[in-house]
Amino acid sequence: MTWRGRRLAACLGLAALALTACGKKSPPVAPEQRAPQPATELTGHVDESAIVLSWIPPNRRVDNTRQRDFTVMRIFRVEDGGAGEPKSAMLTDGRIAGYEEIAAIHSVEPEPAVQRGPRLVYTDRKGLTFGRRYTYVILTGDAQGRVGPPSRRVSVNYAAAPAAPENLVAEPGEGAVRLRWDAVSKLLDGSTVTDPIKYEVLRAPSAEGELAPVSAAVSDAALTDSNLENDREYHYAVRAVRVVAGTTLYGRASARVAATPRDVTPPSPPANLVAIASEGAVRLSWSPSPEADVAGYIVYRAPETGGFERIGSVNAPATTYLDRTVTRGTYRYAVTAQDRAARPNESRRSNEARVTLP
- Residue pair 160/191 in contact (Cβ under 8 Å)? The answer is yes
CA 141 vs CA 67, 75, 109, 115, 250: distances in Å: 11, 12, 15, 19, 32
Find the CATH number of the domain harbouring 146.
2.60.40.10
Query: With left for phi above 0 and alpha for psi between -120 and 50, is residue 38 left, alpha or beta?
Result: beta
Q: How many domains does the chain have?
A: 3
Euclidean distance between CA atoms 282 and 320, whole angstroms: 11
The pLDDT value given to residue 319: 97
With cut-offs at 50, 70 and 90, classify the pLDDT of residue 107: confident
199-227 mean pLDDT: 95
| Same structural domain, 308 and 232 | no
Euclidean distance between CA atoms 215 and 44, whole angstroms: 20
The pLDDT value given to residue 70: 83
Measured on CA atoms in the order 180, 168, 254, 252, is the torsion positive or negative? positive
Q: Which residues contact 79 (CB under 8 A, 6 or more apart)?
A: 129, 132, 133, 134, 135
| Same structural domain, 99 and 212 | no
| 264 occurs within a structural domain | no
Distance of CA 311 to the CA centre of its chain: 49
The amino acid sitting at 66 is R
| Same structural domain, 198 and 144 | no
The pLDDT value given to residue 30: 56
- Burial of 301: CB neighbours in 10 Å, binned 0-12, 13-18, 19+: buried
| Same structural domain, 129 and 87 | yes
Is the confidence at residue 9, as pLDDT, over 90? no
Residue 214 in 3-state DSSP? coil
| Same structural domain, 40 and 128 | yes
| 12 occurs within a structural domain | no
- Residue pair 331/278 in contact (Cβ under 8 Å)? The answer is no
- DSSP state, residue 261: -
The pLDDT value given to residue 235: 98
Euclidean distance between CA atoms 229 and 54, whole angstroms: 32
Residues of the chain with pLDDT > 70, as a percent, come to 91
| Same structural domain, 89 and 111 | yes
CB-facing half-sphere around the CA of 358: CA atoms within 13 A: 2
| Same structural domain, 113 and 193 | no
| Same structural domain, 223 and 337 | no
| 181 occurs within a structural domain | yes
| Same structural domain, 175 and 210 | yes
CA-closest candidate to residue 118, choices 204, 46, 44, 58: 58
Helices (H), the chain: 3-22, 31-34
| 15 occurs within a structural domain | no
| 23 occurs within a structural domain | no
The residue count of the chain comes to 358
Euclidean distance between CA atoms 224 and 260, whole angstroms: 13
CA-closest candidate to residue 292, choices 316, 272, 313: 316
| Same structural domain, 43 and 143 | yes
Among 99, 128, 157, the domain-final residue is 157
Euclidean distance between CA atoms 340 and 231, whole angstroms: 11
Among 96, 127, 157, the domain-final residue is 157
- Residue pair 149/237 in contact (Cβ under 8 Å)? The answer is no
CA-closest candidate to residue 103, choices 39, 161, 189: 39
CB-facing half-sphere around the CA of 66: CA atoms within 13 A: 1
317-335 mean pLDDT: 96
| 77 occurs within a structural domain | yes
Is the confidence at residue 169, as pLDDT, over 70? yes
221-274 tens-digit pLDDT: 999 999 999 999 999 999 999 999 999 999 999 999 999 999 999 999 999 999
- Residue pair 175/88 in contact (Cβ under 8 Å)? The answer is no
- Residue pair 142/70 in contact (Cβ under 8 Å)? The answer is yes
110-160 tens-digit pLDDT: 999 999 999 999 999 999 999 999 999 999 999 899 999 999 999 999 999
Q: Which domain holds residue 218?
A: 169-259
Euclidean distance between CA atoms 44 and 134, whole angstroms: 10
| Same structural domain, 200 and 281 | no
